[in-house]
Structure 1
Amino acid sequence: MLWHAIAPVRRYTKASHDVVRHPRLCSDAKILLLYVQGLPDDQTHLALSEHGRKLGIKGRAFQRAKEQLVVNGFVHERKAPGERGLWATHQLVSNVPLSDADALAVWREAGVGAGASPSVQFPTVGEPSPRTVGHQLPVDEELGKNSSRPPTEAPSQAESAAVEVGELSPQEVEAERVLLSLRHSDRQLRLGVPEARKLVALAVEWLRRGVSAGELRRVLSSGLPSDGVRSAVGFLGHRLVQKMPEAPEGEKPPASAGASAEAVVEEAPPSALPAASPVPPYVPPLVTCQGSGNEHVFRAYSEETECPDCLQAAAYARWAERRAADLGIDLAEDAAKAVEAGRDPNGWRSRLAAAAATGGGGEQ
């Protein structure tokens, strides 16, 4: 192969060999990563799909390239509340693999998810303004026949009891906030305050067992039934009971949580309880490979310490040693001769083939 190259003096992007020669990234993923790495600051606000569309990477090809970048730690995504209560998806693209903890640190440093304070918006939320309508009529005042305003009525005892709000503990406040925020994930999970209060005890039990607020929100809002949710309070109560994690060793769940769970499930109609809901796919964490070569990461599905490529290379090396022993070949001596001849000493395939052809070629 004849190789000729002229180093550019401007308009170039430094690319790491770990990216260019990455064995688990397709050509579309590498091109997309290098293209994004060389973008100017005024174009970084566009989504990754927009840049892929400019490169002609669309549809299934883009999904495949993005999936490979996410699995190998080059792309991370996070949903965070934005302005006016809207949720936005933020993407983080890196030229080196990052773990989930490293990506979270970068997002925190950049201030992603820290929405604007109500006091800095214009107009300021909650600013007092003069009343433009008439005063409300008293309860005991009688109206004329031509008046279209109905008389005000005193709230009933049931309504007063529903309006009254007791003091909540910090965990109960956090659990209620999670339940009320489910409407942002799906409109079918919209709860009123009285409905959320019925489920607070169950949600608090999840938090007490070590589940974070974000994980609880993900479990409750993912894998909804294909035919829709008929009763939000019944569906969430059923899911909180059925997917309750195990209690820590030596502890027993409080009786109030079990009683409230049975009450919520009994109130829900049978049609509101799903028969089965799909479980979201599990994404294993990124771990550092302990194999030879440059440092890299991979996703370990169990307790693996080496990536599949390093395991395959080690298996080939062991097979070469056994094959050389069967043929009576000294690989160390052969490697020294290869260095003297200017060849690659690590090319065990070529050394083994040459030795087999000269010394033991007739053996099968």
Structure 2
Amino acid sequence: MLRHAIAPTRRYTKASHDVVRHQCLNSDAKILLLYVQGLSEADVTARSLGEHAARLGIKGRAYQRAKQLLTESGYLHAWRWQGERGRWVTEQLLANVTLTGEEAGRARVGDGPPPTTHTPTVGGPGTREPGGSYPEEQREKNLPHPPPEDPEPAADTELAEAERVLLSLRHVNRDLLLGVREARVLAGTAAEWLRRGISAGDLRKALTAGLPSGGVRSAVGFVRHRLVQKLPDRAGPTPSLAEVAAARPGLVTCAGPGAEHVFRPLAEETRCGRCRAEGATSTTANDRHPQPLPWRDRLAGAGA
């Protein structure tokens, strides 16, 4: 492979190799991060992150996926609170280095040094100051806030279906956005609903109906509370017709055609009223339109 590169003298953005070569970020996440870092302060605050992504053509699921990857990697942090008039406000911080929640909080309020304050000497060894970026080979070993281990993927049908339902809640209401790890943690309780005869659609409806008017502050806590508090009773096996007849004295099994069913006789009937009515209708139709005699009998009658 050949390469020809000319360093730009203006209108460029410095991109860290940690971002460009990051294995957990897709191309949309990297482009969005570099695009925002190259904007002026006024342009950044004038629009939300979603609006910046739309200007790049990153919309819908692609934007949600890029935002999720940036959040999980420590580049994107968000705070949500309720304003004076009751409206919910979301503030986002997009950094070009990975930050812990504490470091992001300090950068948000301007308390303490900025995330990167050192300038490494070109070609010489340097030391990392607090808030700087890790080399790629050390990132996996020395994360400042290592994420918890992923739960095992869903093994049976109910767990897999429950996990899909939980991840689909975001399409009904954006306040119910759950990550993959969060959905796998809650999938065990949600799968119990499916084992008790509740369909996936009814489960989704139970989790999204009647949401608080002020919004959901914690999607994980809200969904967990509903899964536990609204868990339906375990349905018993469906009784057979014989058990139904035994439990309700006076019911007998109909001897008529069709599927097996029971009825309550008035006297000594062996067939229900519907079967008797259908039998009487067919008999009347046969009497009204008698079947023709075979041709041999008709010839014999004509000769006589």
Q: TM-score range by the shorter chain?
A: 0.3 to 0.5
Pick the structure with greater CA Rg: 2
Q: TM-score, normalised by structure 1?
A: 0.32
Q: TM-score when scaled to structure 2? A: 0.38
